[in-house]
């Protein structure tokens, strides 16, 4: 059994009302509830945290480290493109994480094409709306359960 953290950055608490054509109609609480159930069905415990603030997200990464977290599903939102502080927390803690996006940043404005996280991530799931989180959790569970997956060998 592993402890899994779903970590969401700014404006993601507004899912459902925020640009639904890009991000879908589901709210964050319902996505988190689905993920919690899915994780439990695989024998894992899932916690969720969202903040508008970089410092709070950095703090949560180090808290997750102390708690023995096995995997983070991370949607840094706008911080994807800007936050060296959050990147440093992920790199410094060495916590394995999957980068998640509801939209496909590569189909959008050029400034969204650069992620400060992708090169550290086990993998990236983007473009499938709320299903991106579910797909990332599926991949994460497979990774947790199988020591021999290539991404683990590369770390
Ligand atoms: C996002 C993509 C980011 O570029 C944007 O700033 C977000 C959401 C996504 O999930 O598609 O807030 O991370």
- Other Cβ atoms closer than 10 A to 82: 14
Tell me which DSSP letter residue 27 carries.
-
For residue 133, indicate whether it is catalytic. no
End-to-end CA distance of the chain: 21
Q: What is the pLDDT along the chain (155 residues), one digit of tens a residue?
A: 999 999 999 999 999 999 999 999 999 999 999 999 999 999 999 999 999 999 999 999 999 999 999 999 999 999 999 999 999 999 999 999 999 999 999 999 999 999 999 999 999 999 999 999 999 999 999 999 986 455 555 55
Does the beta carbon of 105 sit less than 6 angstroms from any atom of ligand 1?
yes
For residue 154, indicate whether it is catalytic. no
- Whether the model pTM is above 0.85: yes
Which residue's CA is minimally distant from atom 13 of ligand 1?
77
Does the beta carbon of 11 sit less than 6 angstroms from any atom of ligand 1?
yes
């Amino acid at each position: 059994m592993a402890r899994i953290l779903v970590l969401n950055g700014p404006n993601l608490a507004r899912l459902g009302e925020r640009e639904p054509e890009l991000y879908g109609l589901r709210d964050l609480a319902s996505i988190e509830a689905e993920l919690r159930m899915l994780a439990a069905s695989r024998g894992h415990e899932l916690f969720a945290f969202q903040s508008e603030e970089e410092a709070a997200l950095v703090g949560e990464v180090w808290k997750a480290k102390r708690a023995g977290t096995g995997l983070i599903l991370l949607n840094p939102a706008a911080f994807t493109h800007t936050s060296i502080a959050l990147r440093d927390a992920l790199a410094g803690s060495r916590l394995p994480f999957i980068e998640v996006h509801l939209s496909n940043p590569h189909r959008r404005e050029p400034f969204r094409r650069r992620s400060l996280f992708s090169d550290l991530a086990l993998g990236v799931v983007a473009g499938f709306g709320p299903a991106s989180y579910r797909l990332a959790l599926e991949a994460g569970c497979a990774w947790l359960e199988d020591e021999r997956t290539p991404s683990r060998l590369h770390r």
